[in-house]
Structure 1
């Protein structure tokens, strides 16, 4: 049997080697949020900047038994102001990532995608789960299960490219993208199969770069070589995919949660396509998942620094 969380431990080790990043922890007003940030800091993954109401953050730290005296704290009146203040820290170059605390995801993302003062780029914002699945050799990226509800082809182009960029930042030796549907043949009555075929052709023409892409593929023949062989699918991706692109948010959310609750997988969450990576945590996340999410942000930030250092 694999050592539990072996893939996540490899990610964390790589992130520690890449160096800690300064990250705004937005509204860490419960014990889980503050304890997770403190643990990531003590491991050398992050230098946290705590953003939110001082009294609530100090109460949460006391409840968690965490000493925050050494951390910078940006006092704000409430969670909405915390989100705005965290975004402002990105604009001033004081942090290179954001981490969600105990506020709602919608509150944080509203500040991120605001047309005035937000963190938009030319790329659409999308979410990826980096999953540690027992019995699966490598981390598995699933997108998009949290941001884009019913993405059209134009949105899926960015969703796929964001996931490829993430896989490269995480050091995947080869990025193999499966665009999922209910079947592996193109059926005009099922739009996701047509969009999958279009994405593959776009990759072939260089409109999507950095990966081998195939689709449509059903889940079984995307991740299982035996299932792909039974269907006589000849593909460098079939049975070996390490990035799964789902048709819509509902499919992605159910796939990720099925792996988590039925197969014992952990799911680290990251938002890409904004000016900085954004760590989305859940109250149900384990300690190792919170650390892995911070590690993913570290590696994405390190990749961004390398890109910016390359002369145009």
Structure 2
């Protein structure tokens, strides 16, 4: 029997639900790092107008005001911290978080590596016991649920220990967004264990770690090839059962190259949108792209406060 086509969902409806969920929590203080171009400053203003975040603009004040004037953005009521350049902006924004003046970071017009250098600084950064990792939260028009892809931006060739933290981070995020227990597919080129393909061995090890309670909160399965991770018919043909096969909500990729290519394929060939967030630091970090549309930028901005609120509640319970 041929696989029935999945219903095409209304574009952005999944993101709209995330944005709507922020209405139930107060806006969160956010340090916006070097918002010196139209896209990054507009994203901060839009999120503030939606009462998602309360921005503090950290960067060269003259440059920020010049962008605001050209783009006709009202920023007079925002707090601004004047620093001379992007490197200083990253360091100052991290300092604001450490001082409790911000509960989020948002990347502006600086390179991700520059921001992350300040975040991971051993003495003045925002490290935790977890490895830092990135998640794309993708709205794919032909897929019925949000699709999380990790890690496609931070860890280049993660080892088993790092992949375990990548799994823990994305599971915590999925739960923190109120999306329930995630179905996590650990991807490789094939769905069988092959000693010549290391990612299949690591996938099997991660699943055993989940069985033994070393990774909790999600349903893990792997190795799975992409088709039998997201296609019920492909999983049926291959005889793969279980909670995850054919209906994964999270795709844990073998390495950054695979994840980056997968996310960009979905974006440019399948018309998907890709909100982005960095996890594993003391606070969530919002990553937006100059190519993002308004709804995707707002989705990125919505995910971080929702997750920050979840973390704060968890900390208060454990206190």
> TM-score w.r.t. structure 1 length?
0.99
- For 2:261 and 2:178, the matched residues in 1 are separated by 27
* Cα deviation, residue 29, structure 1: 0.3
User: Among 195, 198, 201, which residue is 2:208 paired with?
Assistant: 201
User: Among 269, 290, 307, which residue is 1:300 paired with?
Assistant: 307
- For 1:3 and 1:185, the matched residues in 2 are separated by 36
Partner of 2:113: 106
Partner of 1:288: 295
> TM-score w.r.t. structure 2 length?
0.97
1:169 correspondence with 2:211: no
Contact 1:7–1:138 at 8 Å: present in 2 too? yes
1:62 correspondence with 2:69: yes
Structure 1 gaps, min length 5: none
User: Among 173, 187, 194, which residue is 2:194 paired with?
Assistant: 187
Partner of 1:245: 252
Give matches, 1:115-154, under 5 Å. Answer: 115-154=122-161
Contact 1:34–1:64 at 8 Å: present in 2 too? no
* Cα deviation, residue 137, structure 1: 1.3
Partner of 2:100: 93
* Cα deviation, residue 31, structure 1: 1.2
Contact 1:112–1:274 at 8 Å: present in 2 too? yes
Residue 310 of structure 1 aligns to a residue in which SS? Answer: helix
Partner of 2:239: 232
Residue 162 of structure 1 aligns to a residue in which SS? Answer: helix
User: Among 239, 261, 267, which residue is 1:260 paired with?
Assistant: 267
How many residue pairs get matched? 312
Residue 171 of structure 2 aligns to a residue in which SS? Answer: helix
1:276 correspondence with 2:272: no
Contact 1:20–1:44 at 8 Å: present in 2 too? yes
Contact 2:193–2:201 at 8 Å: present in 1 too? yes
Partner of 1:37: 44
Partner of 2:82: 75
- Note the alpha carbon deviations across 1:127-150, whole angstroms, 9 max, x for none: 000000002111110000000000
- For 1:117 and 1:16, the matched residues in 2 are separated by 33
- For 1:223 and 1:18, the matched residues in 2 are separated by 33
Q: 4+ residue stretches of structure 1 with deviation over 3 A? A: none
Residue 264 of structure 1 aligns to a residue in which SS? Answer: coil
User: Among 1, 25, 50, which residue is 2:32 paired with?
Assistant: 25
